[in-house]
Structure 1
Amino acid sequence: MNRAIEKEQRQESILLSLKKLDYLTRSQIQVLHGLRSARNAQRVMKELETYVSHFRDGENVYYLNSEGRERVNATKVRKKTIQAKHFIMRNSIYIGYGSPSTWRNEIRLGFKEEKKTRVVCDALFQQDKRYHIVEADHTQKMSKNRIKIEKYKRLIELGFFETKPCFIWITTTEFRRKQLTKLLDGLDHRIFTVNDFH
């Protein structure tokens, strides 16, 4: 294949990843797009600077700028924000689970008529005909996590899911992992910390 076409396709696929995942670190882009070395990934992203902006948070964190959004028809405006960590944590799960094709972000679950049980998960995907619900616990108060988990338990009781879902949480510390383990007791779950992905 012509080198120029290959380069164009790679750039397009990186921009589409940013459209889908909002923020990606240099190392996440490297893994997702098979850019062998950190140096190679830096070079590729430098060539994309017309379409992406970045800031440092341990390493470069990239997001689409207005030209990038226009090129891949993205509507969500992203800026430099401390909230980016939340998205990056969620994306670690996306990459860790092999970039599932059924992956969708920010999905509202629950029955329309039962407002009390409605909940928005950070991401959702299907594997082996079963839903996997992803939650990134970055700076969330544990009481908020408790409320969310109670809603999930209620949805299971009410038969919202055909098969009981698997809950995948990513958090920041071992202490928070222990707290979440207690809260998720009785549910099928996996809890990771950010260090599990470095």
Structure 2
Amino acid sequence: MPNLKAKIESEQRVEEILESLKKLDYLSRSQLQQLHDLGQKRNANRVLQQCSEFLSSFRDMENVYYLNKEGRERVGSTKIRKKTPQAKHFIMRNYIYIAFECPDDWKNEVKLGIKEKKIINKCDATFTRDKRRYIVEVDNTQTMAENKKKIEKYKAIAESGVYGSPAFIWITTTTYRQKRLMELSEDLDCQVFLLSDFY
């Protein structure tokens, strides 16, 4: 019986890991360790090896995992992911998801705006906490000019009150970009994290 119990628990953990990848697209080994309490690196690698028939991976400082064909079929995912430089964007976004304790209503790639004024922004993610809307943006490869345009739209959206009094969360790559985003976001309730804050 103990072996059966261990087998059921192992299968359940595999399922949970695959569901996380279905939701979040790409996850690094350290992110999976945090999300699923996989303990030390050695144990995490052992567990991920048990999932290997359902996963593909590539190296970007550490292993980054995503669902392969078998994994997508197992959890009913229709999104095909491949090895791509854009995966870093997803990894950065997932650090915010984990840091804010995996919000139940987290949604990726959501359009927000004021239709009648034709002001629309597609945010990288959004969730609510204590009835307040949080808007997540990843600053990885876009220009600061693009960020500036986006922030101007967010100021109009915040002023409209359509989403109550939203809070904004950015994650970026350098202290220069962090400072610039904070300057541009003056008048907004905004936090700007560095990628290096999370590892």
What range is the shorter-chain TM-score in? over 0.9
Identity of aligned residues (%): 57
RMSD (Å), alpha carbons: 1.0
Alignment counterpart, residue 38 of structure 1, candidates 36, 41, 55: 41
CA distance in 1, matches of 2:112, 2:140: 21
1:175 counterpart SS class:
helix
Q: CA deviation at 1:92?
A: 0.3
Shift of 1:21: 0.4
Report what 1:21 is aligned to.
Answer: 24
Amino acid at match of 2:125: A
- State the distance in 2 between where 1:111 and 1:154 align: 9
Which residue type is aligned with residue 145 of structure 1? N
Q: CA deviation at 1:155?
A: 1.1
Residue aligning to 1:129: 131
Moved over 2 A (4+): 111-115
Task: Tell me by how many angstroms 1:161 deviates.
Answer: 1.4
Distance 1:192 1:121 in 2: 16
- List per-residue Cα deviations over 1:113-161 (Å, max 9, x = no partner): 333x111100001001101101111111001111111111111222221
Number of aligned pairs?
Answer: 196
- Flag structure 2 segments of 5+ consecutive residues without an equivalent: none
1:64 aligns with 2:67: yes
Matched, 1:174 2:193: no
1:10 paired to 2:17: no
Give, as a single letter, the amino acid of the residue that structure 2 aligns with 1:181. M
Between structures 1 and 2, the one with greater helix share: 2
| Aligned position for 1:112 | 115
Q: 1:147 — aligned with what?
A: 149
Q: Please report how far the alpha carbon of residue 37 of structure 1 lies from its aligned counterpart in structure 2 after TM superposition.
A: 0.7
Aligned amino acid, residue 84 of structure 1: A
Equivalent-residue separation in structure 2 for 1:112 and 1:73 (angstroms)? 33
- Provide the rounded CA distance (Å) in 2 between the counterparts of 1:169 and 1:158: 21
TM-score, normalised to structure 1, is 0.96
Kindly indicate whether residue 77 of structure 2 is the aligned counterpart of residue 74 of structure 1: yes
Alignment gaps of 5+ in structure 1: none
